[in-house]
Amino acid sequence: MLRTYLTNFLQRAGAYIFGITVLARIFSFVGSWLALQLLPNKALGTVLFSWTIFSFITPLIGLGLHQGYIRYGALESDASQRSALLHYVVKKGVQASVILAFFVGLIAFFIPFSLDSVAKHLLFFLLSLPLLFLIEILKIKARLAHDNKRVAFIEGTYQLLLLLCIAVFSVFWSIQGYLLAFVIAPSLTLGFYTRDFNNVFKTPQYVPTKGFWSFGIYAALSNVATMLLFSIDMLLLGELLHDPEMVTLYRYLSLIPFSLLFLPRVFMTTDFVSITENIYNHKATKNYIYSYLKLFTIISTVLFFGTYLFRIPLLRLFDPQFHQYATSFTILMFGICGILLLRGLFGNLLSSIGLARTNYYLTLIAISLNLLSNYYLIPRYHILGAAITTASIMWFTGIASAWLFYYNYNKQIRTSLTSKA
């Protein structure tokens, strides 16, 4: 069964998704390195601060309509209705992105940031919101057509153009050029794939079903909350210990564990449409879950014991003194296994059955527990306390999402059978 699972993954061009995900990370690293070499450190620091703010806004592009597009598009078997859905999502999503960019930009100019030019820099990033939304729509359109190879090419085109724009524009126009790259790169990407939007506005009007908008909004909010969940530890380390060095240290300790989070994302990007199309085929869903858990049990075991055996040399790659935090590193790796095994799968399965709201509320509960635990453990155990909290929350959200999925999935199936009877 595992061989069949991997064969199906590869047949859906999963290798392309994996490859482009790794390549995108490499391009991102090279782009960051180039910026560090080409731009003044002080000005770059202000830009990166603006980017941090922007990164919390990007999940809200189109008010999450792209999230609704992939789920409801996968469930829609009628080709004309799927085209009408695309028309509706593009029109409303671009409008929502423009309005979001306008209001965030307006509010930013009234916030007294401690760093100069944050609002101006943020405005450049905000200009790209409608463009990034359309790129997401392009990728989802390809995913709904089961053309993951095209998804990889779209993402690869954007990442390569962004890297080239950063390199060229930063040389000629310094900070302004660097900011401009984040507007020009998505514009050029859309130019390459403009044919994908042919006839979009010649389709019949789509009437959204009940819950369409709320699903997208809650899915977007869930992504924002998840980003916050993974940022709390570093924020509280700085706040409670008043030691920037501890923040830097924890950032590098968590670098390897957190970098592994792309693995379940690769499988979900490849398989989400197929999962959703067959979500109420009980046997197919059961087989998928079993195969995923079997594969990621193997992956998690290899990663955990591999990093445990080589934890000292791995940490010394960052700093010769980091080996004294090997226990915290191992605890973080254990926590990541909870995401790889459970949360990465069942969080997406909850979305497949339309429970983005449940994902959001679960993340809010996790944030609250994270705050309470860190306020108790960080002052007593410092970095070890933050690591214990993170690992515990990762397993909590994984187990909770699995339970919530099975509970609601079985409930929906029983309701469906009763209505048919």
- For residue 420, the model assigns a pLDDT of 55
Domain boundary among 208, 233, 268: 208
Please list, in sequence order, all residues whose beta carbon lies within 8 angstroms of the beta carbon of residue 279, skipping any fewer than 6 positions away.
285, 349, 352, 353
Residue 6 lies in a domain: no
Residue 43 lies in a domain: yes
Within a 13 Å sphere around the CA of 198, how many CA atoms are in the beta-carbon half? 4
Residue 3 lies in a domain: no
Return the amino acid letter for 142.
A
Residue 4 lies in a domain: no
Domain boundary among 154, 179, 208: 208
Number of domains in the chain: 2
Q: What is the dihedral of CA 45, 176, 220, 364, to 10 degrees?
A: 20
Is the same domain home to 309 and 335?
A: yes
Is the same domain home to 200 and 221?
A: no
Domain boundary among 160, 186, 208: 208
- For residue 114, the model assigns a pLDDT of 67
What residues make up the domain containing 221?
213-420
Residue 1 lies in a domain: no
Which tens digit of pLDDT belongs to each residue from 262-300?
Answer: 999 999 999 999 999 999 898 999 999 999 999 999 999
Is the same domain home to 188 and 218?
A: no
Is the same domain home to 337 and 406?
A: yes
Residue 337 lies in a domain: yes
Is the same domain home to 186 and 164?
A: yes
Mean pLDDT of the chain: 89
Q: In terms of pTM, does the model score above 0.85?
A: yes
Is the same domain home to 166 and 251?
A: no
Is the same domain home to 103 and 190?
A: yes
Which tens digit of pLDDT belongs to each residue from 106-128?
Answer: 998 888 876 678 888 899 899 99
